[in-house]
Structure 1
Amino acid sequence: MNRQRGQAIVLIAIMLAVVVGMAALAIDGSRAYALRRDLQAAVDSAALAAADNLQQTGSYTSAEQAATTIFASNLRLYGSPACAPAYAPPGASPLTVTCSFGDGTTLTQVVSALGAQGSQFRFTATRSLQLQFAKILTNGASPTLNGSSSGGVNNLLYTPTVAALDRAGCGGAGGSAISITGSGTLSVTGDVVSSGTITLSVAGMRVAGDIYARCQAAVSGSVTSACYPSGATAPCSYPDVAGVTRSGYPFIDPGYPPPTVVGGAQGAPSATVVLLSGIYAAIPNFGGRHCWFLSGGVYDWQAGFSNSNDFVSNELKPPDEPSAGNNTVRATPQFWSTNGVQCDGAFQVTKVTGPRDIPTGIWSFVVTSLRTDMYNGLAYKRESAPSMCDQVNLNNHFDDVQVAVSNVPGATSYNIYAAPPGNGCGGPFGLAANLAVSGAVLNSNTSPCPNVNGNGCSLGNESIVLSTELGAPFAPNALAAPGVVGAYPPNGESSPLQSGLPNQNPARGPGAAGDRANENNCETSGGAYATCPAAVTPGAVVFSMPSGACVDVTNGGDTFIFGGYQYDWLSVYAPGPRNPPANTCASTFGAAGNSAYIGLIYMPAGTVTIPSAYTFEAGSGGLIADFLIFNGSMPTIAMNLGFAPVPPAAKLTG
């Protein structure tokens, strides 16, 4: 028995070492797991922060800095890290920046600009685990923990003007993703992107931007590279850059979500000029050379949209649009006379005997069209640019003024602005009165239109006599807010894009300046005029084309619509594979003489054919389809990033 004395102590010592080791592993192991989890979360946050910041700012330097900042914040690392090389945009090769923190933690980011694929940020991080109990079981070295992540975004630096998603013509597949035939030259300002091949037959292509053809080092045929963004012919002068052709870049479907349809079922269009947004179960019959005004909202054309002979638009215009730069001359053509529909309005002032004296002399007048459109249950006011100027000479006691208007589509009232004697048509003008549209506005007989006396014009006419409105103390007031007596009218229209087209809308301006009615108008979510970009573009529309619903606009009809901020600048939407069921229709966007889709035409699973030179008579937000076919006379398509969607949110890619 004495020989066994002390054995328990040995066993206890051995067991104690095992218990301590297990405790050390449990404690430091759990610390390692928690630290590894925190490190991975910090790297994921850095990847998302970089991609999101690039999307918001367009600056790689800002995005890289934002990633480092959020990484340090998540790991509670204080003090500025040492980063080498300095933050900068990537070039043709990826940029690698490594930042070292005071405790030995490192963050390495590899930044790549992938052209049509957007931008990618890849992050790796290392951090030492300071052992506590487990140190006695090791040689004292601290193990290193690692984390990695990557984020990607279709950034604001890259938005294609024309893009085809199909890979036809590449990898042994037949056909081509973009086919250009017909006559003339397809002129594009911005980038042309094809995930398949681009083929030209007879027609040429001039691109003020880059051409991304996934499996073509060069596009065969008559292809000219111009200067971006001016569109000038090369050689290019700063800040213009010359476009090039790049291969190996597939374009990924951005996957824009569908717009929300608000509004119930609508019947077939009859003779009422104004249509309401909502669900149209039957395909509309736009083929009788009529005009149609679209109130703001989403139009769900469940059976498709067809226009063979009419003019369809949501643009609010004044009667008697003036010649740009000379408001005493009526512009030719008028917007609402497009395609011969004769829906342009007119106005006239005459002298009548009234109840009281107003100052004598030559008075000058302009009018604007007004309407209110709804969005999310709130009312948003719209007011067009001013009409041409009309004058009347008051030279007797009790001379008053009668204002007569032949209605223009979409207007629910007219603001009348007056310039007292001595001002002339150069103004300034002040708001004197408002004239409401009182009767039905129909398109059943527009051949007598415009006519301020009616005479059978189905659009109708309105009139008002101004007397007390022009008496003292009336005077134009530059400080008066819009809608207040004396307030100045909105800015005037600008020159047409080219001879033979109607005027353009006023440009965007700060606050209430600039356009107050159409695509360049911005308002807050409460309905106040605002500087663009803003929450709402009042009156904006979207054509929603569910699976099986095709667009069929021939070269006999015209469609001129604008989207808006509340719809992410989509003008035509069809679901793709990412939002099934996909719409695989073959759609045609023709035009007779004046069409536009201000915003993105997005049909990622369908084929889009453009057979007319007049389809894009305004700035475009882009065109994305599975296949694209340009035939007939070639159009000019100019990208305007102010009318382009914000790319989908940044996402983790690995």
Structure 2
Amino acid sequence: MPFIVPSTRTKSPQRKLQEGQAIVLIALLILVLFGMLGLAIDSGRGYVDRRDQQTAVDAAALAAGDWWENYQDLNGVVVPNSVALYESDLRLYNGPAGAPTHTSRLVGPQNNLPEDTYTYTWNAGYTLVIVATDTQFNGYQFKFTTNHQLPLAFIQIFGGSRTVGIGATATSIVGNQRQTPALLTLSTETCATNLSGSAQLTVLGDVYTNGTACLDNNLHEAGNCYGAAGSNCNVAQYYCYNSDPGFVPYPPTPTCNPGDITGQAVVPAPTLPDPGYLAPSIGYYTAAQGYSQYNRGTWTEMYPGQYGNFHLSGGSASCAFLNGGVYNWTNGYTSDANGSLLSNELKA
């Protein structure tokens, strides 16, 4: 009787099960690879979108500052032109989706700083918020905030979000006086700053007055001179200077050395509000002080407070040196004695 056996060896059920597991693992690996590829592509698109938006708001914020300095027309020039530049940089050719919203309010510690907020939206998923704040002494501030709901190409296939928010912010400030002038007069009266006489005076830093400046050519100004309409800042001699500590200004011959600059007259200049400097450690509002001449022998040391009868006038010259703090001359300040000196630095 013939012996019959299979021509091929049969596979055990356990081996068939193992081969099925390998197919599943390969499918999972392919799925993971596609997921990583999709993540890389969507992340790259998000990075490019963030970079494009940052470039757009940077350019728009800087342009808003330039247009404000030239035109000072917020609604007619500054905002529309800066929005047009933003659209151009992001290639938004169809214009905003409807009219923008515009709100105004007063902000700041004393609720006296005008703030305008503009909100623009586009059908492509972009939103732009512009906040323009007149901070007065600290200049006009323009803050641009953009956001884009970027559609995701691959992540949504794997159950993720359909879009992701990408944003950027840029701020510009123009006309600020954060570098405090060397001499600031808050009075708005005629000749609020009066720097004239037979002696020569050199000021290293800006001279700023809310009233008119009454000067003569004995003033050597190493900085800018700001004054209200009618100021004669043009008669001062403008010296060369730079920002190096301890720099000694010098007259141009006829130009300045490389790296040094000269200031200019800025008339009329905007009125600056009282910055409200406070010195909590010194009760200068209620502390009455008197000018105790020669309380240090040959010179006078002064202390912060209110001075009702201070003057360096008449008779022989005297020298006074100020301690740190805030001084209030309630009856004005007079100094007409030749050779007198009032210094905001203590004697060495």
TM-score, normalised via structure 1 length = 0.28
Amino acid at match of 1:72: E
In the aligned structure 1, how far is the partner of 2:186 from the partner of 2:49?
Answer: 55
Per-residue deviation, 1:178: 5.4
Q: Structure 1's 124 and 136: CA in aligned 2 closer, same or farther, altered over 3 A?
A: same
Per-residue deviation, 1:572: 1.5
> Which residue in 1 is equivalent to 2:43?
29
In the aligned structure 2, how far is the partner of 1:150 from the partner of 1:99?
Answer: 17
In the aligned structure 2, how far is the partner of 1:312 from the partner of 1:178?
Answer: 20
Indicate conservation of the 8 Å contact 1:164/1:178, yes or no: no
Per-residue deviation, 1:115: 1.0
Per-residue deviation, 1:147: 1.0
Amino acid at match of 1:27: I
In the aligned structure 2, how far is the partner of 1:87 from the partner of 1:20?
Answer: 47
Indicate conservation of the 8 Å contact 1:118/1:152, yes or no: yes
Q: Structure 1's 150 and 95: CA in aligned 2 closer, same or farther, altered over 3 A?
A: same
2:90 corresponds to 1:69: no
> Which residue in 2 is equivalent to 1:96?
117
Amino acid at match of 1:67: S
In the aligned structure 1, how far is the partner of 2:99 from the partner of 2:211?
Answer: 38
In the aligned structure 1, how far is the partner of 2:190 from the partner of 2:62?
Answer: 37
> Which residue in 1 is equivalent to 2:65?
51
> Which residue in 2 is equivalent to 1:79?
94
Per-residue deviation, 1:127: 0.3
In the aligned structure 1, how far is the partner of 2:265 from the partner of 2:239?
Answer: 10
User: Which has the greater radius of gyration?
Assistant: 2
2:142 match: secondary structure: strand
Q: Identical aligned pairs, as a percentage?
A: 27
Q: Which of 224, 244, 249 is matched with 1:580 structurally?
A: 244
Q: Which of 133, 140, 148 is matched with 1:127 structurally?
A: 148
Cα RMSD over matched residues?
Answer: 4.4
- Between Structure 1 and Structure 2, which shows a larger proportion of helix residues? 2
Amino acid at match of 1:187: T
In the aligned structure 2, how far is the partner of 1:571 from the partner of 1:138?
Answer: 73
Q: Structure 1's 187 and 22: CA in aligned 2 closer, same or farther, altered over 3 A?
A: same
Per-residue deviation, 1:24: 0.2
Matches within 5 A, 1:213-224: none
Indicate conservation of the 8 Å contact 1:44/1:150, yes or no: yes
In the aligned structure 1, how far is the partner of 2:222 from the partner of 2:114?
Answer: 41
> What do the CA deviations read for 1:51-71 (whole angstroms, capped 9, x no partner)?
111112122221111221111
Structure with the bigger RCO (C-alpha within 8 Å, sep 6+) is 1
1:187 match: secondary structure: coil
Per-residue deviation, 1:104: 2.3
In the aligned structure 2, how far is the partner of 1:140 from the partner of 1:60?
Answer: 39
Indicate conservation of the 8 Å contact 1:60/1:88, yes or no: no
Indicate conservation of the 8 Å contact 1:575/1:582, yes or no: no
2:265 corresponds to 1:599: yes
Per-residue deviation, 1:17: 0.8
Q: Which of 53, 74, 81 is matched with 1:39 structurally?
A: 53
1:28 match: secondary structure: helix
2:165 corresponds to 1:165: no
> What do the CA deviations read for 1:159-201 (whole angstroms, capped 9, x no partner)?
9xxx9636xxxxxxxxx96599xxxx961589xxxxxxxxxxx
> Which residue in 1 is equivalent to 2:31?
17
In the aligned structure 2, how far is the partner of 1:571 from the partner of 1:69?
Answer: 43
Matches within 5 A, 1:130-209: 130-154=151-175, 165=181, 187-188=190-191
> What do the CA deviations read for 1:337-373 (whole angstroms, capped 9, x no partner)?
xxxxxxxxxxxxxxxxxxxxxxxxxxxxxxxxxxxxx
In the aligned structure 1, how far is the partner of 2:133 from the partner of 2:172?
Answer: 11
Q: Structure 1's 49 and 630: CA in aligned 2 closer, same or farther, altered over 3 A?
A: farther
In the aligned structure 2, how far is the partner of 1:600 from the partner of 1:207?
Answer: 12
1:98 match: secondary structure: strand
Q: Structure 1's 50 and 178: CA in aligned 2 closer, same or farther, altered over 3 A?
A: closer
Indicate conservation of the 8 Å contact 1:574/1:582, yes or no: no
Per-residue deviation, 1:22: 0.3
2:130 corresponds to 1:109: yes
Per-residue deviation, 1:97: 0.8
2:36 match: secondary structure: helix
Amino acid at match of 2:100: A
> What do the CA deviations read for 1:124-156 (whole angstroms, capped 9, x no partner)?
11101111122212345211111111111018x
In the aligned structure 2, how far is the partner of 1:208 from the partner of 1:543?
Answer: 20
Matches within 5 A, 1:283-294: none
In the aligned structure 1, how far is the partner of 2:245 from the partner of 2:124?
Answer: 53
In the aligned structure 1, how far is the partner of 2:246 from the partner of 2:84?
Answer: 41
In the aligned structure 2, how far is the partner of 1:561 from the partner of 1:139?
Answer: 66
Per-residue deviation, 1:8: 2.4
Amino acid at match of 1:60: L
Structure 1: runs of 5+ lacking an equivalent: 167-175, 191-205, 210-310, 314-541, 547-559, 564-569, 586-596, 602-610, 612-628, 634-654
Per-residue deviation, 1:599: 2.4
Q: Structure 1's 14 and 151: CA in aligned 2 closer, same or farther, altered over 3 A?
A: same
Indicate conservation of the 8 Å contact 2:103/2:117, yes or no: no
Indicate conservation of the 8 Å contact 2:104/2:117, yes or no: no
TM-score, normalised via structure 2 length = 0.50
Q: Structure 1's 179 and 2: CA in aligned 2 closer, same or farther, altered over 3 A?
A: closer
Q: Structure 1's 105 and 208: CA in aligned 2 closer, same or farther, altered over 3 A?
A: same
Q: How many residues align?
A: 212
> What do the CA deviations read for 1:33-84 (whole angstroms, capped 9, x no partner)?
1101111111111111111111121222211112211111111111221343
Q: Structure 1's 312 and 178: CA in aligned 2 closer, same or farther, altered over 3 A?
A: closer
Amino acid at match of 1:63: V
